[in-house]
Amino acid sequence: MPERAICTDHILLIGFMGSGKTSVSRRLSSMTGLSLIDVDQRIEALQHRKIPAIFAQEGEQGFRRIETHTLEGIRYEGRSIVSCGGGIVCNPANRPILKALGTVVYLQVPVEEAVGRITHPETRPMLSGPRPVEEIYNERLPVYREVADITINTSGLSVQRVATLCRRELDKRGLL
């Protein structure tokens, strides 16, 4: 059987919940013509369950296992804009996987602004867990920075502006 081709030049968006990954990735996809992969949507489609149901039935650890498996599968897809869930950096095993998949773009946002942007908190189980959101944010911040190839400060910016900044940075590096 022929080997399946592996993609190492995806563009992956990471960042805290509410950082705009979903909207910016959609915009970037239409700006660049690259296809779009939303890891959370893919998890829900493969699992035939919504994310809150996965958390309720398997706990966070169970969700993280599924997330890693789904992320790994993306290497067999054609070059895409990949929108990752905010906790993709939690499992240390995901960090080299992200790096091997392509260029990682971190959408940075202050925690208060991120929380203010979240319109459906009931769809984010991490926001109704026992840990304060600031604690989760502070724990993840250095990891987002470590994994990122490109960091975009999104504070106060529109989706269109952030997508334009992403495209500019990718362009500068000859990645588009």
Residue 160's contacts (CB-CB under 8 Å, 6 or more residues apart) are 27
20 binds ligand S3P (CB under 6 A): no
Q: Where in 140-159 is the site for ligand S3P (CB under 6 A)?
A: none
Tokens 């869930």, residue? 85
| Interface residue with ligand S3P, options 11, 12, 17, 82 (CB under 6 A) | 17
Q: Does 102 bind ligand S3P (CB under 6 A)?
A: no
H helices within the chain, ranges in order? 21-32, 39-47, 51-73, 94-101, 111-117, 133-147, 159-172
Instruction: Give the side-chain half-sphere CA count within 13 A for 164.
Output: 5
Give 22 or 164: the residue with its C-beta nearer to ligand S3P.
22
Looking at residue 4, the DSSP 8-state letter turns out to be P
Q: Quote the Cα angle for 159-164-169, to 5°.
A: 125
Q: What is the largest CA-CA distance in the chain?
A: 52
Min dist CB 173 to ligand S3P, Å, is 25
Q: Which of 97-105, 119-127, 142-150, 157-165 is the region at the interface with ligand S3P (rule: CB under 6 A)?
A: 119-127
Among 87, 106, 108, 152, binds ligand S3P (CB under 6 A): 87
Applying CB under 6 A, the span of 73-81, 94-102, 118-126, 168-176 interacting with ligand S3P comes to 118-126
Task: Compute the least distance from the CB of residue 69 to ligand S3P, in Å.
Answer: 14
Distance in angstroms (rounded) separating the CA atoms of residues 75 and 70: 10
Q: Where are the beta strands (DSSP E) in the chain?
A: 10-14, 35-38, 80-83, 102-108, 150-153
Nearer to ligand S3P, 86 or 102 (CB): 86
Asked if 85 touches ligand S3P (CB under 6 A), the answer is yes
The site for ligand S3P (CB under 6 A) is made up of 17, 21-22, 40, 51, 85-87, 124-126
